[in-house]
Structure 1
Amino acid sequence: MNWEKLPLGPLQTNCYVLANSKKNCIIVDPGEEGVRLTNHLQQRKLTPQAILLTHAHFDHIGAVDYIRNAYNIPVYLHNKEKNWLIDPTLNGSHLFMMGEIKIKEADHHFSSECEMTVGDFIFEVFETPGHSPGSVSFYFKDDGVVVSGDALFQGSIGRTDLPGGDHTQLMKSIHDKLLVLPEETQVLPGHGQPTTIGEEMDSNPFLNGF
């Protein structure tokens, strides 16, 4: 599996396109710029099979309906944020005055941690709340990759001052679900540059002493 990072929208939220040798792909967090994302997929001759959402804050969901409608593919989200896609107050677009974002509900909802097969892709869903109640991370064990959303960043962690945020819960999520992965695991965060579990264990100041 190969992956590409596309920072999209005013907050430069990382959208990830994870593709296999058959040119099928899944899209994680299409936050904005649906036309640009579609053009990218066409240039790469990729066929999307699904949209996965690490959580439902506005900067991660803005292009969901554009891509869903363009390719007629399903959207996956944790059920704790089931209503966030249709509610600008919950997804934060109203709070941040970014223009109210309302999109259709997800087609499928995670209710617990599980291993999933979506199209050609097999991955594990980790519940990693703290940044938001329904935050999840997607772990592609065979490829040594975890998409962490806004839980863990290079040298930082997700903010917890938004509605539903909980710092203690986030630290527990990072410690119990992410730092237990092999140190060489690549971490693909929702913002900024990719990192590894080992790098964050060694140098992330927010994790020191936890």
Structure 2
Amino acid sequence: MLQVKIVPVTPFAQNCSIVWDSKSKEAIIIDAGGDAQRIQQEVQALGIQVKQLWLTHGHLDHAGAVGELARVWNIPVIGPHKEDQFWLDMLQDVSAQYGFPIPEPVHVSTWLEGNEVLTLGQHQFEVRFAPGHTPGHVIFYNAEHNLLWAGDVLFKESIGRTDFPRGNHQQLIDSIHSTCFTLPDETQFIPGHGEMSTIGHEKKLNPFVSGRIG
């Protein structure tokens, strides 16, 4: 069975997801944005073994602990799309600007394009390319549990910012409609920040995108 524990990390309370197969105890972590020691403690307490680190995009609050954890656990980094390379290259400088601890460099093992299928045990995750918040943003969808990891594309009754370098508002709106709103209404999603919601809820009540439904 697929299990998920959300661990808010960094002062931005980014939703780092520890995801594991209850049978094999194998795990992945989506967006290990910071607080590496806390993440390690959570993993140890759960008695699981992390096999990969997945990234939705290259912002510091999503990638800040990835370099350290990849080194400590000697595991690969999967994603995001290569268009976010410049964000990962700036990770140390941006962290210093925000007064965050200076993170270790992130070395991506496999860049994602979209339409790949990633696996954890017998569980499958569809990769969807969703640029706009950043040019290389991807999201992960598990159809078996109708669960989406939306990163900073879609939030409960809100959407991601597009005022960062190479952000694009129209591209973000288009991504939400093509990659998120094509999923079943009952699909739950874990956003990069804040509480979970459903696709159906956002279609009806998200003021940034609901006007185009129908």
Contact 1:126-1:136 within 8 A present in 2 as well: yes
**Which residue of structure 1 aligns with residue 75 of structure 2?**
73
Q: Tell me, which stretches of 5 or more residues in structure 1 are unaligned? A: none
Distance in 1, Cα, partners of 2:71 & 2:102: 19
- Structure 1 counterpart SS, 2:185: coil
- Structure 2 counterpart SS, 1:31: coil
- Structure 2 counterpart SS, 1:110: coil
**Which residue of structure 2 aligns with residue 82 of structure 1?**
85
Q: Identity percentage over the alignment?
A: 37
**Which residue of structure 1 aligns with residue 131 of structure 2?**
129
1:201 aligns with 2:189: no
How far did 1:93 drift?
2.9
**What is the one-letter code of the residue matched to 2:4?**
W
Decide whether aligned partners of structure 1 residues 102 and 36 sit closer, same or farther in structure 2, where only a CA change above 3 A counts: closer
RMSD over equivalenced CA pairs, Å: 1.8
Deviations 1:60-99 (A, max 9, x none): 111112221222111012111234323238x843554535
Q: Tell me, which stretches of 5 or more residues in structure 2 are unaligned? A: none
Q: TM-score, normalised by structure 2?
A: 0.91
**Which residue of structure 1 aligns with residue 45 of structure 2?**
43
How far did 1:20 drift?
1.1
How far did 1:206 drift?
1.1
> Number of matched residues?
209
- Structure 1 counterpart SS, 2:95: coil
Distance in 2, Cα, partners of 1:187 & 1:64: 22
Distance in 2, Cα, partners of 1:35 & 1:100: 14
Distance in 2, Cα, partners of 1:54 & 1:154: 18
Q: Which runs of 4+ in 1 moved over 6 A?
A: none
**Which residue of structure 2 aligns with residue 4 of structure 1?**
5
